[in-house]
Structure 1
Amino acid sequence: MTNIVQEEVQQYIRELLPPRDELFYEMEQEAREKMIPIVEPEVGHLLYWLAATKKSRRVLEIGTAIGYSTLWIAKAVLPLEGEITTLEINAPRAEAACRYFKKAGVEEKIKLVFGDARELLYEQTGPFDFIFLDAAKGKYVEFLDKCVDLLQPGGILVAEDVFMRGMVISGEIDKRRNKTAVARLRSYLEQVMEHKSIETIILPVGDGITISTKKDDLSSMSPPLL
């Protein structure tokens, strides 16, 4: 199982998306040529929509790659004089992201921190309105509680690639080294759905995403049965 969404459905949705800036097409081309994983355009548009709808102003991204998802979120956040902090461990990708941020004219409004999220995440101070988790899939479970701690009540946590090319669903693992990551992603999905401080939905968009919102004091109480 490699396609979570049927190709014709995916293509139809993409054809309905609003025209995007030429810079996005350039980044998509580079990602294809260098086999760099970035979110699908429909996921990028969803990130923009979520951040815009919530009027998010303070954003943390864990896993920059070349900055494609960062710039989608920036479309919603920066017009509100918001700020984005994004973490990346891969030097060439961080350099590419900085190049694209400069090309988009937002290099001074996005703080890219180079290093390992296993250390950098715990140096961040909240609260954040929006957190996008797109790091090493085997680390999602490890990062979950800290991400929830950093969110303000009503804030959004989005995790990307939670189906890991369908392997989480099918159990058909292409390489032995992916076995641990698949097991940890399954654990993440269980924990994020059962977590007492957040409400979560799972969507079959792209390669699977979860969207969680942090409860406030009142909504943390279980609702009465109808």
Structure 2
Amino acid sequence: MSDIINHEVMDYIRNLLPPRDELFLEMEREAKEKIIPIVEPEIGHFLYWLAKTKGSSRVLEIGTAMGYSTLWLAKAVMPQGGKITTIEINRPRYEMASKYFSRAGVEKEINLVFGDAREILFDLPGPYDFIFLDAAKGKYVEFLSKCIDILEPGGLLIAEDVFMRGMVITGDIDKRRNKTAMLRLRDYLKIVSSHPQLNTVVIPIGDGLAISTKT
């Protein structure tokens, strides 16, 4: 979480969350131990709330990691028969997600795809009513056009980590290789904020969320 976000505020919000299932808590512990990037609990709950309030049923997630955010979305859409397709390029994380989906009893409702989203995404026909983008930050602009194409009118496109630990806001980078990702995230935010097919808000929660609705 970036220092841009007030930690006291975020801690307060997190303490207001409903109790999480033990499986979520176990995943949080494993992610911390193995340094696997997952969304914060308040982001997971927010994704759940968005998908449930929207009545989403056809979800695409780009960047599964260990499946933590996927299970938050599954909690929202699967009671009404919804389906999720999620893409992961890292083999150990793919296998970890598969394990957790099986333990949660939702493996049949989740289409877990191993491979590079740069190749897989462009073969997906859609449409989807909810797309969660949490992949390599430098690829968001590259994915955007296809995401818009397969997102149905009124659907939601949520991009995660758009502040990139505050670097997008301040311009200060911790490593030289992050400069390109930071600049591309800035481009992404400029594009979605002015795109004729999108209405977008940027919310300072977690490490920043850009939420776009297709008009």
Q: Map Cα deviations across residues 128-163 of structure 1 (whole Å, 9 max, x no partner).
A: 010000000000001111101111010000000000
**Structure 1 residue 2 displacement after superposition:** 3.0
Q: Distance in 1 between matches of 2:21 and 2:125?
A: 32
Partner of 1:179: 179
CA distance in 1, matches of 2:123, 2:113: 11
**Separation in 2, partners of 1:201, 1:48:** 18
Q: How many residues align?
A: 215
3-state SS of the aligned residue for 1:139?
Answer: helix
Task: Determine helix, strand or coil for the equivalent of 1:149.
Answer: helix
Aligned to 2:122: 122
SS of the equivalent of 2:113 reads strand
Relative to the length of structure 2, the TM-score reads: 0.99
Q: Which residue of 2 aligns with 1:150?
A: 150
Question: What is the CA–CA distance in structure 2 between the aligned matches of 1:76 and 1:2, rounded to whole Å?
Answer: 27
CA distance in 1, matches of 2:4, 2:108: 37
* Equivalent residue runs for 1:187-202 within 5 Å: 187-202=187-202
* Separation of aligned partners in 2, 1:136 and 1:4: 21
User: Cα RMSD between the aligned structures?
Assistant: 0.9
State whether structure 2 residue 20 is matched by structure 1 residue 23: no
In structure 2, the partner of 1:95 is: 95
What is the distance in 2 between the residues matched to 1:47 and 1:129? 13
Could you say which residue in structure 1 is the equivalent of 2:63? 63
Aligned partners of 2:135, 2:125: CA distance in 1, in Å?
A: 19
TM-score w.r.t. structure 1 length?
0.94
Q: Secondary structure at the match of 2:31?
A: helix
Aligned to 1:164: 164
Q: How far, CA to CA, are the matches of 2:160 and 2:2 in structure 1?
A: 15
Match of 1:223 in 2: none
Q: Secondary structure at the match of 1:65?
A: coil
What fraction of aligned residue pairs are identical, expressed as a percent? 69
Residue 105 of structure 1 aligns with which residue?
105
How far residue 125 of structure 1 moved from its aligned partner, in angstroms, is 1.0
Question: Alpha-carbon deviations, 1:183-206, whole Å to 9, x = none?
Answer: 000000000101110100000010
Distance 1:53 1:37 in 2: 26
- CA deviations on 1:41-93 (whole Å, 9 max, x unpaired) are 00001100010011000000000000000000001110010100000000000
CA distance in 2, matches of 1:194, 1:33: 40
> C-alpha separation between the residues in 2 aligned to 1:16 and 1:109?
30
In the TM superposition, residue 23 of structure 1 has moved relative to its aligned partner by 0.5
Please tell me the residue identity of whatever aligns with 2:16: L
CA contact (8 A) 1:140 1:185 kept: yes
* Post-superposition offset of 1:208: 0.3
User: What SS does the corresponding residue of 1:145 show, helix, strand or coil?
Assistant: helix
- Opposite residue 118 of structure 1, the aligned amino acid is R
Structure 1 position 12 matched with structure 2 position 16: no
Structure 1 spans left out of the alignment, 5+ residues: 216-226
Q: Is the 8 A contact 1:4 1:205 kept in 2?
A: no
Q: Counterpart of 1:138?
A: 138
Amino acid aligned to 2:136:
A
Larger radius of gyration: 1
- Deviation readout 1:168-221 (Å, 9 max, x if unpaired): 001110000001000000000000101110100000010001000010xxxxxx
| Distance across 1 between alignment mates of 2:156 and 2:162 | 16
- The residue aligned with 1:221 is none
